[in-house]
Amino acid sequence: MRIALGIEYDGTRFAGWQIQPHQRTVQGCLQESLSKVDKHATKMVVAGRTDSGVHALSQVIHFDTSSFRSERDWILGLNTNLPCDINIIWARNVDDNFSARFSAIRRSYRYLLINRTSRSGIYADRMWWVFKPLDEDLMQKAANLLIGYHDFSAFRAKDCQATNTMKTMELARVIRRGNLIAVDIVAQSFLHHMVRNIVGTLVLIGQGKMPVEWAKQILASKDRGKAGITSPPQGLYLINVEYHIRYSLPTVSNFPVPC
């Protein structure tokens, strides 16, 4: 039997998703909880790894088991053994051909910035504080140049292990609400640090330090050294992972406030 889980977590106190020696990780906490609830469960597969400090509102995993439990029992049993910064939000029985990673048809990320002269004591671990004024219209114009099927080599991390750098960005949207800015980016899959590197580039354009056309020039260069900085992890959220309707997985709409 294959079980899929929807998970939310606050990445602040985690060294990322993947298990690492002597580090507190999301995967490590989940596997420890799963081992207490079901000793017959196999290793979990995740939709996408997140870095240290990155949050998730709807991460998806699957695992195989010979145990029969209701969806409610999976949720309650696992949450009982999880720390307060990880929570199972749904559980579903799925077909054996379902893969949390390879069956995903779309992944949605949101990056949050607070744009004001003073830092925030409330959102310090939730947003990137940028104190210089940002022009969200310039940021949007630059983001529009990245939409479509492109080689995103210039926006990948140096240690990115992906063999295919061609990606299709379906959406790149910049939203401002007062002094808060959200950057929404949607694609089937992403390169390591791709969203954070794009946001770092858009911020320089929004500050007027670089022209809008710079985004297109970076893309064409395929050179990471030409792009902006890697934005800090605390502003990044994995919002949703979408699958074909035949799997009947829940639709999550709990976008982080306030955008």
Considering the candidates 10, 38, 51, 184, report the single residue annotated as catalytic. Answer: 51
What residues are paired with 171 via a beta bridge? 186
* Assigned token pair, 160: 């990115």
| Phi (first) and psi of residue 158, to 5 degrees | -60, -35
Tell how strand 180-187 and strand 106-114 pair up: antiparallel
Question: Whole-angstrom Cα distance, residue 189 to residue 183?
Answer: 17
Question: Whole-angstrom Cα distance, residue 63 to residue 54?
Answer: 23
Within 10 A of 130 (CB to CB), how many other CB atoms are there?
18
95 as an active site residue: the answer is no
Find out whether the peptide bond into 133 is cis, omega within 30 degrees of 0. no
Q: Give the active site residues.
A: 51
